[in-house]
Amino acid sequence: MSKPIIAVTIGRAHYTRIFSEAAWRALDAFAEVIHHPKEEPANKADLLALLPPADACITGWDVAPIDADVLAAAPKLRAIAHTGGSVKRFVSEAVWARNIHVTSAAPALAQDVAETTLGLIIVGVKRILPLSQHVREGGWREHPAWPAREVHSSVIGIVGASNVGRRVIELLRPFHASILLYDPYVNETEATRLGVTKVELAELARRADVISLHAPALPSTRHMIDRSLLRLMKDDAVLINTARGALIDEEALVEELAKGRFFAFLDVTDPEPPAPDSPLRRLPNVVVTPHLAGCITDCTHLGEMAVEELRRFFAGEPPLNRITPDQFGRIG
């Protein structure tokens, strides 16, 4: 039986970053591979030229949307494996109308983001940033941020049991911290299985020493961390956002940070990057990083997962992370 034809659309400039040699060997073992010839990800015209013979394609960040025109030119296409996290930007209604099998490497990407989040939790509860600055200025322990705290005696609030949120919960398990979870889609049984206490968002804001955001960016979650929630936070709390900037009302956040009440780590902002004159670039109790929580230079685990998803699809085996139309509305 002939091998399926799989089109790689991510652009050759990104091959080393996304695909390991093992991934290429695994792909060649079950498929005939065709390549988008340009350095950068395929635009719509590129997809129209590349996909007509393809049974499946591998997509990535900045590939053009798979819209009705593209699908009309690709009558054989049955599966899409995305090497990034969210498929929201490029999967169209036409994809669902054709019943195309869609997968995402979000669980692989989640590991990187969760590890970064864990690091920020530890740095935050130990108050390393304000205390190190105090020492640099000639001080020692006579500072409002002293004493530093421990993770095991902290209350960690997780907002969103996404792939990342769940992985953060797993990484926190050895620390024996008390974990609160806000997620309207998680019931009490699932919360118990995760080892967390399900609470409403206002209670989480009041009780948590650390609040870590892992919700999708949706109309319903825009500015979910608003002025009233921010005012409920403990004066010495830590707020971490490695999800999406739009989850926080940044005008309200700046007002609260300006009071010096709590510390924030923002890997994402809204807009991104912050304006050159944004107070987020100057306030001493906030650290803004350039959207680096996920993988940066070595994302080969994403390519490996995408290849494995397609191997499973053509072998008739269960997928690792299939995205379905009913899930699509909850993806940011």
Examine the domain organization and report whether 10 and 125 are in the same domain.
Answer: no
- How many domains is the chain built from? 2
Give the pLDDT confidence of 162-203 residue by residue, as tens digits.
999 999 999 999 999 999 999 999 999 999 999 999 999 999
Q: Could you write out the DSSP letters of every residue in 139-185? A: --S-STTPSP--STTSEEEEE--SHHHHHHHHHHGGGT-EEEEE-TT
Examine the domain organization and report whether 85 and 114 are in the same domain.
Answer: no
Examine the domain organization and report whether 91 and 197 are in the same domain.
Answer: no
Q: Which of 98, 272, 311, 322 is catalytic?
A: 272
Examine the domain organization and report whether 261 and 278 are in the same domain.
Answer: yes
Q: Can you give the pTM of this predicted structure?
A: 0.93
Q: Output the domain CATH number for residue 94.
A: 3.40.50.720
Examine the domain organization and report whether 316 and 266 are in the same domain.
Answer: no
Top-confidence residue, 242 or 90: 242
Pairwise CA distance, residues 177 & 274, whole Å:
33
- pLDDT of 329 > 90? The answer is no
The reply to whether 322 belongs to the active site is: no
Q: Taking all residues of the chain, what is their mean pLDDT, rounded to a whole number?
A: 96
Examine the domain organization and report whether 102 and 117 are in the same domain.
Answer: no
Examine the domain organization and report whether 130 and 164 are in the same domain.
Answer: yes
Pairwise CA distance, residues 284 & 260, whole Å:
8
Q: Which of 14, 82, 101, 244 is catalytic?
A: 244
Examine the domain organization and report whether 145 and 26 are in the same domain.
Answer: no
Examine the domain organization and report whether 52 and 142 are in the same domain.
Answer: no
- Write out the residue range of the structural domain in which residue 125 sits: 109-288
Examine the domain organization and report whether 171 and 197 are in the same domain.
Answer: yes
What residues have CB less than 8 Å from 296, skipping those under 6 apart?
none
Q: Which of 17, 35, 78, 291 is catalytic?
A: 291
Examine the domain organization and report whether 218 and 86 are in the same domain.
Answer: no
Examine the domain organization and report whether 30 and 88 are in the same domain.
Answer: yes
Give the pLDDT confidence of 42-52 residue by residue, as tens digits.
999 999 999 99
The reply to whether 291 belongs to the active site is: yes
Give the pLDDT confidence of 156-165 residue by residue, as tens digits.
999 999 999 9
The reply to whether 142 belongs to the active site is: no
